[in-house]
């Protein structure tokens, strides 16, 4: 289908983009890589009257070392994230998971900020940023504010972004010594969305799993942490038995959707199995 007609602007600065969004009101929308928005426009599931293209705003692109964290610009593409040496060194889970997003063509255009702002619980990166304790940096007419990943994803395709606000970047704490990670994704066909995904981080110390963080993809209307599994494994010996005990409660508190790719019970099963695999790899068991 052909999208409904819309006005299009491509501002060169963030301030200009924020002004254009404010002028457009409820009928204006940001477009970044267009990999999620364009299909919605073509299906006429979205019909904004103004598109504000942030593709020419250089300050939204790139990855900077900010001491104990990396600051990743919202318009940084998936391709850039996957190949960036800082991301690989300090936040390897993000590089590993981003490499599973779609195919090379989509990864060259799609952006980290777009994946997060879209708020799709089936997207791989929201659960990863949640597990990494990322903080989202947002700018709008009222100035700049920071939102913890745990507060950013509000409901299905709904985030804490207020009308007129632009996600400018994500602050991702560096993983220090002793941390291991793994993103396990189950999908029916290669280069497809996750039926379920599990982003696991584990810090080993003296033969124990001192701490674990687990984000679940597509196990509810928003990405969620597998808190019961995190608590079960924290402080336990880094053993197959401890991992299995934690994996057995990975789906606790989740509300997985039902769709053509799987029923809720099937997704619960997948979450347990994938958590076992991801945690074992992250903890080096």
* Residue 267 interacts with ligand FAD (CB under 6 A): yes or no: no
Nearest approach, Cβ of residue 102 and ligand FAD (Å): 3
Shortest CB 247 distance to ligand FAD, Å:
23
Nearest to 220 by CA among 111, 98, 126: 126
Q: How far is the CB of 23 from ligand FAD (least distance, A)?
A: 16
3-state SS of 232-271 is HHCCCECCHHHHHHHHCCCCCCCCCCCECCECHHHHHHHH
Residue 117 lies near ligand FAD (rule: CB under 6 A) = yes
Stretch that binds ligand FAD, among 33-41, 207-215, 245-253, 254-262 (CB under 6 A): 33-41
Binders of ligand FAD among residues 211 to 240 (CB under 6 A) are: none
Distance of CA 230 to the CA centre of its chain: 19
Our finding on whether 102 is near ligand FAD (CB under 6 A) is yes
Q: With contact defined as beta carbons under 8 Å apart, do 254 and 225 qualify?
A: no
Work out which of 17, 18, 28, 32 binds ligand FAD, going by CB under 6 A: 32
Asked if residue 135 binds ligand FAD (CB under 6 A), the reply is no
List Cα–Cα distances, 142 to 19, 106, 178, in angstroms.
Answer: 11, 33, 40
Any contact of residue 124 with ligand FAD (CB under 6 A)? yes
Chain CA centroid to CA 246, Å: 23
The closest of 165, 248, 237 to 202, measured between CA atoms, is 237
Residue 166 interacting with ligand FAD (CB under 6 A): yes
C-beta of 217 vs 275, nearer to ligand FAD? 217
Q: Which is nearer to ligand FAD, 40 or 210 (CB)?
A: 40
Considering only 110, 164, 180, 220, the residue that binds ligand FAD (CB under 6 A) is 110
Which of 161, 214, 229, 246 binds ligand FAD (CB under 6 A)? It is 161
**44-50 long-range Cβ contacts below 8 angstroms, 24+ apart:** 44/1, 44/3, 44/4, 47/3, 47/4, 47/6, 48/6, 48/24, 49/6, 49/7, 49/24, 50/6, 50/7, 50/8, 50/9, 50/20, 50/24
Least separation, in Å, of the C-beta of 216 and ligand FAD? 14
Any contact of residue 35 with ligand FAD (CB under 6 A)? yes
Determine the 3-state secondary structure of 127 from DSSP: helix
Binding residues (CB under 6 A) for ligand FAD: these are: 29-37, 54, 74, 101-102, 106, 110-111, 113-115, 117-118, 123-125, 161, 166-167, 192-193
């Amino acid at each position: 289908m052909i999208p409904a007609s819309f006005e299009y602007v491509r501002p060169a600065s963030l301030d200009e983009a924020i002004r254009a969004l404010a002028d457009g009101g409820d009928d204006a929308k940001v477009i970044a890589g267009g990999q999620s928005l364009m299909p919605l426009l073509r299906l006429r599931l979205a019909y904004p009257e103004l598109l504000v293209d942030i593709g020419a705003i250089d300050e939204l692109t790139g990855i900077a070392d900010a001491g104990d964290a990396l600051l990743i610009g919202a318009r940084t593409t998936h391709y850039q994230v996957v190949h960036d040496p800082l991301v690989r060194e300090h936040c390897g889970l993000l590089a590993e998971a981003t490499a599973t997003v779609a195919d090379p063509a989509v990864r060259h255009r799609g952006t980290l900020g777009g994946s997060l702002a879209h708020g799709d619980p089936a997207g791989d990166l929201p659960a990863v940023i949640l597990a990494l304790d990322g903080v989202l940096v947002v700018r709008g007419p009222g100035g700049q504010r920071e939102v913890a990943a745990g507060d950013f994803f509000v409901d299905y395709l709904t985030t804490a972004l207020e009308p007129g606000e632009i996600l400018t970047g994500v602050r991702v704490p560096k993983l220090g010594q002793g941390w291991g990670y793994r993103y396990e994704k189950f999908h029916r066909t290669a280069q497809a969305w996750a039926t379920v995904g599990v982003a696991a981080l584990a810090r080993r110390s003296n033969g124990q799993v001192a701490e674990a963080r687990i984000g679940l993809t597509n196990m509810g209307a928003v990405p969620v942490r597998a808190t019961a599994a995190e608590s079960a494994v924290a402080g336990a010996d880094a053993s197959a038995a401890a991992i299995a005990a934690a994996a057995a409660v990975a789906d606790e508190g989740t509300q997985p959707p039902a769709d053509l790719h799987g029923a809720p019970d099937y997704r619960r099963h997948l979450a347990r199995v994938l958590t076992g695999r991801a945690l074992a790899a992250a903890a080096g068991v």
